[in-house]
């Protein structure tokens, strides 16, 4: 049945698929995990803040980002970021940001909204007494957040952060709308050039699957290592 | 000048008044026990002393510093006031040693080594030196509460607040915590203790405050309080708690 298929097309183009395509996808994912969780945590803290302006801004931002499709946000930032950049550095012409940087900014801003809701639940899961204990010892807001609340909130949220990260990893393939060569982009370029659609799309699916399983296993190990003894 | 001074303090949760015109003081070296039925506001009152609970009316002074003044550096003040909680509130993600040293290094700016030394000295005093590398979850309730006391003492506090320190403990663990507290009192520590342990009050307290429905109903020397409380409410409370 597979007689007319040529899976050799994969091995012949493996360097391109991995070095160009997969590197882009992994670099983007890694940067977005870090930036998304950092921004998301800040957003969560703002949303829980007693300062009204901060919580209103964070709430509006999170709701907006979670109500629009990712593809729309990708287009939006791709065309908007050069103008925002120009405004920031007061340049008369739009700034050339580049596909990679533009994707990093887009996905970080988008994922931050989702990570923010996860971290908010995490922060709220820490009993008030823990914060009291920190304050009673003389810690200020930032110290008690950084040393007491967030380390525990993060541990509690690892499974959900992982789920969100796996979704995000798969969603990075949407950069194809900007004609960027991520892993899926690389696979489809070769598929089109050589007319080998079935082979390459099967390969792509298998690779995404394997990577997601590996991430799950690694995170489960990490979770066991950092688990709090109760 | 009193170590802790509470003057005409009132507090509301929304429209519900939890504290009404509470006035009392704790002199240096004095031990006072605050008791009363649940919901009487005693835990809220003790938390107003280090501003974990803000008040809407009245004034609170600790060592002459006004607590409810927006200009007061609260972290600095709180670092000098030790507090022990009903549910221990050790930090579960940190070892005992780290629990003891965290605020010393972060707030007092002590070197890690110095903080560890001091923490371990107090840990030894509460009889738990061998548990320094364990996590709080590996200790019994009584042990956790003793660590919490050591953690507060490591900050060299000028006074100690205890908010129902034995209420969450199994009966057989209550005494090990009370003994540590009694030892502390004999060394002259200024202490404000919210507790139902009337035996402890009788042995250790200088004065007993009885609260009901947000009011300080009785504020009397120990002998007087246990001898013949003036208010009917306190008489009923004592009768119930002593003869159960």
A213 in contact with chain B, both atoms CB, cutoff 8 A: no
DSSP string over B95-133: -HHHHHHHHHHHTS---HHHHHHHHHHHHHHTT-GGGTT
pLDDT digits (tens, 9 = 90+) for A112-134: 999 999 999 999 999 999 999 99
Q: Quote the percentage of chain A above a pLDDT of 90.
A: 66
Asked if residue B40 has pLDDT above 60, the reply is yes
Cα–Cα distances in Å, from B80 out to A151, B71, B180, B194?
Answer: 26, 17, 20, 19
Confirm if B237 and B42 have CB atoms less than 8 A apart: no
Test mutation, B103, B139, B141, B163, chain A, max A CBs within 10 A: B103
Confirm if A1 and A198 have CB atoms less than 8 A apart: no
What pLDDT sits at residue A86?
A: 86
Mean pLDDT of the A50-75 span: 95
Which DSSP state fits B214? Answer: T
B50 in contact with chain A, both atoms CB, cutoff 8 A: yes
List chain B residues with CB under 8 Å of A230.
92, 137
CA atoms of B236 and B212, how far apart (whole Å):
12
Asked if residue A166 has pLDDT above 90, the reply is yes
Rounded to the nearest integer, the mean pLDDT of chain A is: 91
Domains annotated on chain A, with CATH: 8-229 (1.10.3720.10)
Asked if residue A230 has pLDDT above 80, the reply is no
What pLDDT sits at residue B243?
A: 66
| Dihedral angle over CA of A207, A161, B138, B125, nearest 10 | 130
Gyration radius of chain A over CA positions = 21
Here the tokens at position A183 are 């892993």
Here the tokens at position A60 are 């509006």
**Interchain CB distance below 8 Å, B75 and A148:** no
Angle at B141 between CA B140 and CA B142, to 5 degrees: 95
A135 in contact with chain B, both atoms CB, cutoff 8 A: yes
pTM for this predicted structure = 0.89
Confidence of residue A47 (pLDDT cuts 50, 70, 90): very high
What pLDDT sits at residue A9?
A: 85
Distance of CA A222 to the CA centre of its chain: 19
Please indicate whether residue A84 or residue B182 has the higher confidence score (pLDDT): B182
Asked if residue B106 has pLDDT above 90, the reply is yes
**Interchain CB distance below 8 Å, A152 and B78:** no
Shortest alpha-carbon distance between residue A48 and chain B (Å):
18
List chain A residues with CB under 8 Å of B82.
136
Sign of CA dihedral B156, B157, B161, B163: negative
List chain B residues with CB under 8 Å of A133.
83, 85, 89-91
What pLDDT sits at residue A3?
A: 66
Confidence of residue A2 (pLDDT cuts 50, 70, 90): low
């Amino acid at each position: 049945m597979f007689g007319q298929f040529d899976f050799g097309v994969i091995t012949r183009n493996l360097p391109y698929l991995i070095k160009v395509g997969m590197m882009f996808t992994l670099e983007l994912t890694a940067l977005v995990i870090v930036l998304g969780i950092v921004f998301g945590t800040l957003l969560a803290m703002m949303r829980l803040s007693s300062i009204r302006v901060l919580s209103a801004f964070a709430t509006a931002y999170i709701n907006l980002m979670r109500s629009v499709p990712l593809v729309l946000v990708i287009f939006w930032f791709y065309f908007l970021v050069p103008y925002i950049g120009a405004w920031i550095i007061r340049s008369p012409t739009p700034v050339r940001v580049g596909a990679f940087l533009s994707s990093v900014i887009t996905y970080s801003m988008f994922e931050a909204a989702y990570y923010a809701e996860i971290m908010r639940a995490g922060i709220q899961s820490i009993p008030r007494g823990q914060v009291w204990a920190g304050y009673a010892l003389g810690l200020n807001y930032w110290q008690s957040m950084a040393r007491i609340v967030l380390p525990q909130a993060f541990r509690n949220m690892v499974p959900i952060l992982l789920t969100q990260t796996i979704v995000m990893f798969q969603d990075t393939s949407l950069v194809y709308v900007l004609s960027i060569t991520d892993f899926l982009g690389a696979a489809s370029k070769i598929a089109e050039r050589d007319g080998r659609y079935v082979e390459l799309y099967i390969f792509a699916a298998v690779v995404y699957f394997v990577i997601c399983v590996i991430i799950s296993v690694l995170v489960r190990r990490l979770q066991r290592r950092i688990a709090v003894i109760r | 000048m009193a170590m802790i001074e509470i003057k005409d303090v009132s507090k509301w949760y929304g429209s519900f008044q939890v504290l009404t015109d509470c006035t009392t003081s704790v002199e240096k070296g004095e031990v006072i026990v605050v008791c009363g039925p649940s919901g009487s506001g005693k835990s809220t009152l003790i938390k107003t002393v280090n501003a974990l609970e803000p008040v809407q009316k009245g004034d609170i002074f600790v060592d002459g510093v006004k607590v409810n003044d927006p200009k007061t550096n609260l972290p600095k003040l709180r670092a000098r006031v030790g507090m022990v909680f009903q549910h221990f509130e050790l930090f579960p993600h940190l070892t005992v040693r780290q629990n003891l040293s965290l605020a010393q290094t972060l707030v007092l700016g002590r070197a890690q080594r110095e903080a560890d030394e001091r923490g371990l000295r107090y840990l030894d005093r509460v009889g738990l030196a061998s548990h320094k590398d364990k996590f709080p979850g590996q200790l019994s309730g009584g042990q956790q509460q003793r660590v919490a006391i050591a953690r507060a003492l490591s900050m060299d506090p000028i006074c100690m607040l205890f908010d129902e320190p034995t209420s969450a403990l199994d009966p057989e663990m209550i005494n090990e915590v009370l003994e540590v507290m009694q030892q502390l009192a004999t060394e002259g520590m200024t202490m404000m203790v919210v507790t139902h342990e009337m035996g402890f009050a009788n042995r250790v307290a200088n004065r007993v405050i009885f609260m009901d429905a947000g009011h300080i109903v009785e504020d009397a020397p120990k002998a007087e309080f246990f001898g013949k409380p003036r208010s009917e409410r306190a008489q009923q409370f004592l009768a119930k708690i002593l003869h159960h």
